[in-house]
Amino acid sequence: MASLDDNGYAATRAAMVEGQLVRRGLRDPLVLEAMRRVPRHYFVPPESQAYAYDDYPLPIGEEQTISQPYIVALMTEELGLTGGERVLEIGTGSGYQTAVLAEIAGHVYTVELLPSLAEEARRTLEALGYDNISYRIGDGWEGWSEHAPYDAIMATAAPLELPEPLVEQLATGRRLVLPLGEIEQDLVQVTKDESGCLSKRVLTPVRFVPLRRSTERED
């Protein structure tokens, strides 16, 4: 996959993996290889392309952002994927994180609230040849129950509390990774053990856009 002309960005990407990910302690070979492969510059607006591999988030329109490469890789690593899993992602955004997941997982189910972002992400991912992704426009708080249970779940927008439907749709023994909170947010890994009990581990402070509810009023 990820087969379009790379415009000479492969070396920049390799340097990003070494300088931003390996240097900060990320080690999972599947994640590092995925980060080496996915052409991040296709997922940012044309005027930001030159900065696509820099060490920070970038705007993608509609007041949303594509996460910093390190955070994308960290969240993926914390899911503990070994290949072939069925993964639910909430907050498709640019589709970049979706692509990283699709490099490793068997199938990715991705949900985005804003139709314009969802459609643009789908165009990019299809042009790059990813054929193991299902797309849904809707409120990710509800998850995507038709395809549950999932082997891993990730949200890239922050709710104030853990959405109960996501917990329900996670298979036992599996992990959910998401930002939680309002101004002060933490990246949290939630593991559902074989008896259905949850354990939470706080990974690092983060700043994500809020997980909006489809019933919220714009005012």
Q: What's the rounded Cα separation, in Å, for the pair 159 and 156?
A: 10
Of the residues 20, 76, 97, 185, which one makes contact with ligand SAH according to CB under 6 A: 97
Tokens of 76: 């993926």
Which residue is catalytic, options 3, 67, 134, 199? 67
Of the residues 64, 124, 169, 185, which one makes contact with ligand SAH according to CB under 6 A: 64
* Interface with ligand SAH, residue 42, by CB under 6 A: no
* Interface with ligand SAH, residue 209, by CB under 6 A: yes
Measured from the CB atom, the residue of 82 and 116 that comes closer to ligand SAH is 116
Please name the helix (run of DSSP H) or strand (run of DSSP E) that holds residue 151, with its range, or none. strand 150-155
Tokens of 46: 């044309």
Active site residue 67: yes
Cis peptide before 149 (omega within 30 of 0): yes
Q: How far is CA 96 from CA 90, 160, 164, 183, 214, in A?
A: 13, 24, 26, 24, 23
Strand partners, 201: 189
Please name the helix (run of DSSP H) or strand (run of DSSP E) that holds residue 187, with its range, or none. strand 185-192
Please check whether residue 17 is in contact with residue 24, taking contact to mean a CB–CB distance below 8 angstroms: no
Segment lying near ligand SAH (by CB under 6 A), choices 6-14, 16-24, 88-96, 126-134? 88-96
Measured from the CB atom, the residue of 116 and 172 that comes closer to ligand SAH is 116
Give the x/- contact pattern for ligand SAH in 138-157, rule: CB under 6 A.
-xxx--------------xx
* Interface with ligand SAH, residue 65, by CB under 6 A: yes
Q: Which residues bind ligand SAH (CB under 6 A)?
A: 60, 64-67, 90-91, 93-94, 96-97, 111-114, 117, 139-141, 156-157, 209, 211-213
Residues identified as active-site:
67
